Chains A and B, each alone.
Chain A
Amino acid sequence: MKFDAKTREKLAFFILGMIALIIILPIIGVIAYIIKNGAPGLSWEFLTQPPRNGMKEGGIFPAILGTIYLILGTMVFSLPLGILAAIYLVEYARENWLTRTIKLAIINLSGVPSIVYGLFGFAMFVIFLKFGTSILAGSLTLAIMSLPVIITATKEALEAVPKSFREISLSLGATKWQTIRYCVLPYSLPGILTGTVLALSRAAGETAPILFTVAAFYLPRLPRSMFDQVMALPYHLYVISTQIPNMPLSLSFATALVLIVLVFLMNLVSIILRAYFRKKKLW
């Protein structure tokens, strides 16, 4: 069968469009399935009460709060470290064996399985530094896991700022830091924000790194300090799905729904922030 060029183009577009559609199908499927099964389990009590009766009743408030604490803790450690490291690598470091080693280390870090981070965090923070299983240890472990993503995203955002901006600024007698502060960071901020929020939302959903370092199986009371254990949504989901017999399925799906909504909210915040900064700074 022979087609003319126009028909072939139409056919190609149709096939490409279908393939693109296939990509969004799974995400729609996952969300629809979770909403359908999880929505009946949701209630005000579910969101605000601790679990009762072997976790088969009550809510998941301690786990929600635990996950929020962990996100905040991760942010506190990984944001300054990751962004400053990327600024150093892009703006200050000269190309030599040390910077090449650092860059290689970052690439390799992003390939380490999350359970290995969990084990490392356990050995390093829980035992060696004697933090115990605590929010502190868990946050640090998640922070280390997020670092490569944050550094890579920040590096890309910084490198996307045209060289000419730096040249103009320096040629007017600005110092290196002034140049970064006024001519580079403002224009890379949207990219940095997107990358970091993406890294943080991934950290929020991780189970393996918090398994040995912070997550409590069942702890209805709220944490009193950062040296306390907490429950966390991903681990709680794992526990109620596999460790407790006769668990009502709707509770598992409701927990999953809460976790997904939390992650989506974070992404939404990043999108809004990015739109805000884009509107303010145009080039």
Chain B
Amino acid sequence: MVEPLIKIINLSAYFGNLCVLKNLNIEIYKNEILGIIGPANSGKTTFLRALNRLNYLQANYHQKGKILLEGKDIREIKDSILRKKIGIVFALPQVLPMSIYENVAYGPKVHGLRKREHLDSIVEEALKKAYLWEEVKDRLHTPANKLSGGQQQRLCIARVLAVEPEVILYDEPCSGLDPISTAKIEEAMRVLQENYTQILVTNNTKQAARVTQRCAFFLMGELIESNATSILFTSPEDKRTDDYIRGRFG
């Protein structure tokens, strides 16, 4: 039996009095791509942001239960260390108003890296892994917000890669992108699988079927079922999963 990289035990999450995640139990294994599907308002994003404690940026957030990273409760890990280990790519491509280079170098810099040559090589490598290097190598020092949406989203992936995380979270990374940009991001995810554990929240069930090995279906804050993607998409145990996948609701 393989030990899971992340183990979530009885996780419930609340914004004020509103319960958005109900008693969730799920395990995430090293080097897999876990898909999380479900209609809007089912707690997918909250779940994702619970993993690196980003939910706590909202004043009225609180949660119950435990999240273990490599057997260690994440509450015992400093936020900055935890977020270095678990990076996130947001739904909308959001770049900082700096140059392409500075966007990627930002993470390593705040973690104390100052040497120019070292930063250069990290930036280059991260951009290559995110399939962006060829398109931007001649204009690294131009403003990042001049890039197209798809390029910006790959820049966001490069930015996360630059801090050398173990886990990458994607919060509907392709929701605003064209099919070709989407394909590039999916290709990057497949290659990254060799070294990273990835969790993909998506509204696009076809994308989940294409990229993920395991998939979990969320509905109204509850985990309805999780299984190998091939099984979940062909013979789901729960009728609600079947309905959602077949597009009867959601």
Residues on A lying within 8 angstroms of B by beta carbon are 94-95, 164-175, 178, 182-183, 187, 281-283
Contact = CB atoms under 8 A, between A and B. Distances in A.
B47 to A, nearest CB: 15
Interface of B: 52, 54, 57, 59, 79-84, 87-88, 90, 94, 96-97, 106-107, 109-111, 143, 145, 159-160, 163
B57 A187 contact: no
Contact of B110 (A95, A173, A281, A283): A173
Q: Pick the most buried of A169, A170, A178, A281: most chain B CB atoms within 10 A of its CB.
A: A170
Contacts of B87: 171-172
A170 B96 contact: no
Contacts of B90: 164, 167-168, 171
A187 B59 contact: no
Contacts of B88: 171
B196 to A, nearest CB: 16
A167 to B, nearest CB: 7
B87 to A, nearest CB: 7
Contacts of A281: 97
A30 B230 CA distance: 80
B107 A172 contact: yes
Contact of A95 (B59, B79, B81, B82): B59
Contact of A187 (B84, B97, B106, B110): B97
Contacts of A94: 59
B128 to A, nearest CB: 19
B160 A172 contact: yes
17 contacts: A168-B96, A170-B79, A171-B87, A171-B90, A172-B106, A172-B110, A172-B159, A173-B80, A173-B82, A173-B83, A173-B84, A173-B107, A174-B106, A175-B79, A182-B110, A281-B97, A282-B97
A72 B97 CA distance: 33
B105 to A, nearest CB: 11
A175 B96 contact: no
Nearest to B82: A173
Given A173-B84, A187-B97, A167 B54 contact: yes
Contacts of A283: 97, 145
